[in-house]
Amino acid sequence: MQSNGLSQRYTRGQALPELLKQRILILDGAMGTMIQQYKLTEADYRGQPAMTRFSDHPGDIKGNNELLVLTQPQIISTIHEQYLDAGADIIETNTFGATSVAQEDYKMAGLAREMNEVSAKLARAACDKYSTPDKPRFAAGAIGPTPKTASISPDVNDPGARNITFDALRASYREQIEGLFAGGVDLFLVETIFDTLNAKAALFALDEFFEETGERLPVMISGTVTDASGRILSGQTVEAFWNSLRHIKPLTFGLNCALGAALMRPYIAELARICDAAVSCYPNAGLPNPMSDTGFDETPDITSGLVDGFAKDGLVNLVGGCCGTTPDHIRAIANAVAKRKPRAFYREATETAV
């Protein structure tokens, strides 16, 4: 991308850079955790009995949460509104797996464009309902990593094997981006990155879209450190990860998912030290526990206390929750960091701190 992440003229989400200077912004929490509480059946995922569109679709589709924007839109809208009521400034579209690549698992690749546009409209409507002059709300187009990796072989006996190409990923992401934009998102969030090459495909597709349309939206980037080695799955340290993507001039750069806040702290501290962008952090509610109702153990008080520690030490500009977090977690986080100042960050050496 050729223009500057803060000084460029955004065509949507123009208020975000200034808001990041003023206070720590709040992202929403987990979508899957909330959907899980509805205990939906296979028939529910198909929209039955009210809907017959997917009655004869082959194979099981239970678990395809992105399909719910078409078959159970009221559930997704309710979840969005619960997070907004909890204090979220930014909510994510329900499109983490809404690429044709990911939807191939359910034989629904042809629905990807529609899923993204409808999901964006639902998020946009919820934001419009809760926005006020003093507290505008923003819809982020969620762009997930897909179940496939462009960098790592799926065959231990053939290191050179790949199950997807860069061009295939780029085309799939471009379709998603077009749907999200048509539905009205304010910004794009390339998230839960475990493979930097996958992320580059998404960001290349975004750059193409911006150049061809003349539109320019804020871009947020968030990776995931998968274990105590401090590396993403494709092998990079957080410093290398940042240096691989910093040319994009993202509005925010950070980490989400995986380790939970307690184990994530040293890596957020490292990004806070080296990034000339705003730093984001939205961790899981601790480590997974299949016996828990949400699949994770941390209560809102625990998670918010850990995240507030990041804010107290001046490490973050945007915080929220990932797997296992609920509106109660987000409300607790929002209340905790409301008294904290955002981290000062730089965009260019010639600019002053913001």
Query: Residues comprising the binding site for Zn(2+)?
Result: 257, 322-323
Token representation of residue 64: 């395809």
Can you tell me the distance from the alpha carbon of 128 to that of 114, in angstroms, rounded to the nearest whole number?
A: 21
- Rounded Cα distance between 48 and 52, Å, is 6
Question: Can you tell me whether residue 227 is helix, strand or coil?
Answer: coil
Residue 219 pairs in a beta bridge with: 188
| Rounded CA separation 220/320 (Å) | 13
Dihedral angle computed from the Cα positions of residues 341, 342, 348 and 349, in that order, rounded to the nearest 10 degrees = 40
Q: Name, in order, each residue with C-beta under 8 angstroms of 29's C-beta and a sequence gap of 6 or more.
A: 83, 86, 88, 282, 320, 321, 322, 325, 326, 327, 329, 330
Positions at the binding site: 257, 322-323
> Rounded to an integer, what distance in angstroms lies between the CA atom of residue 76 and that of residue 80?
6
* Residue from 334, 278, 256 nearest 31 by CA: 256
155, burial (CB in 10 Å: exposed 0-12, middle 13-18, buried 19+): exposed
Q: Which two tokens stand for residue 58?
A: 């082959």
Residue 238 backbone dihedrals phi, psi, to 5 degrees: -65, -30
Q: 45 and 62 in contact (C-beta within 8 Å)?
A: yes
